[in-house]
Amino acid sequence: GLPVQVGVLAQLDLTTAESSRWFFITWMTTGVFSFGLALFTRQPVSVNLSIPVMIFLAGAAGGFSLPQILGANLVVGMVAIGLSALKLTEVFSRLVPPQIALAVFAGSILAFMVKTTGLAVTDIAVSGPVIGGYLLGLTATRSQLVGVAVAAAVGFVSAVLAGGAPEIGNSVAMPEMGFSAIEFSPVAIIALGIPILVLTVGVANIQALALLRSEGYRVKADCYGLAAGATTVMNALGGGQAAAL
């Protein structure tokens, strides 16, 4: 999600301060809420920024100002909290068969897998060392985890050697903290808020709940939905985007 977010923030033509706040609040709330949720539930569940939402914003949010985008996100968060408070998250998650939810999830990542496979052939200068590093780590230790770690390290080094180290500049700095300006535009709420609500509450959350249930966990759907909605509210107030399970 990190390179996708960086690309979307650049495409939205935000100022340095706005991008810094957006980046900071989304990753900080992801860490804090995910840690608390996993600690409280003892289940492998997290709250994270949604890649489909980022891609949607890149294509649909160009005609709206940042305060209007944040206003739509804030409405999404409040609606998500309301649905969970009314115990409707559990109802919605039960209406969709887990097989359908998991099939939609598989379809959503298929494009990423196809693109990755294509790049493994067309960009062999980067993919070759990654594949070689994985096979080396796997052969030496018989551990897939070690193989992935070696592949990541070798791939990073090869990418830097091939294209040079990225220029960090002033990126490594404390963000300018504060509440962002928010505007409740009916057009933005309809054009952005409704699709974002569908992508987070109606798709991502239901997929996550279905996956947990398929692994035998007893899911507290409304508790999880409340956490995701609260994260979205915090993100909007801090200048960021909607979150999902």
Output the six-digit token pair for 32.
């804090």
Is the pTM above the cut of 0.85?
A: no
Would you say 77 and 232 are in contact if contact means Cβ atoms under 8 Å apart? yes
At residue 58 the predicted structure's pLDDT band, cuts being 50, 70 and 90, is confident
What Rg value do the Cα atoms of the chain yield, rounded?
Answer: 20
Q: What is the mean pLDDT of residues 133-137?
A: 93
**Single-letter residue type at 118:** G
Q: What is the mean pLDDT of residues 61-72?
A: 91
pLDDT over threshold 80, residue 169? no
The residue assigned the tokens 């409304």 is 222
- SS3 for 12? coil
- When mean pLDDT is compared over 12-21, 52-61, 127-136, 152-161, the highest value belongs to 127-136
Would you say 45 and 224 are in contact if contact means Cβ atoms under 8 Å apart? yes
Per-residue pLDDT tens digits for 184-209: 999 999 999 999 999 998 888 988 88
* Model pLDDT, residue 229: 94
Distance separating alpha carbons of residues 174 and 86, to the nearest angstrom: 39
Share of the chain above pLDDT 70, in %: 97
pLDDT over threshold 70, residue 168? no
pLDDT over threshold 80, residue 121? yes
Would you say 230 and 99 are in contact if contact means Cβ atoms under 8 Å apart? no
In our burial notation (b when 16+ CB lie closer than 10 A, e otherwise), range 114-148 reads: eeeeeeeeeeeeebebbeebbebbbeeeeeeeebe
At residue 100 the predicted structure's pLDDT band, cuts being 50, 70 and 90, is confident
**Cα 206–chain centre separation:** 15
Would you say 52 and 200 are in contact if contact means Cβ atoms under 8 Å apart? no
pLDDT over threshold 90, residue 230? yes
The residue assigned the tokens 């928010």 is 182
Q: What is the dihedral of CA 20, 26, 31, 36, to 10 degrees?
A: 140
Q: What's the mean pLDDT when you consider all of the chain?
A: 87
pLDDT over threshold 90, residue 164? no
* Model pLDDT, residue 170: 65
Q: What is the mean pLDDT of residues 139-166?
A: 87
**Cα 106–chain centre separation:** 16
* Model pLDDT, residue 171: 65
Output the six-digit token pair for 19.
């991008």
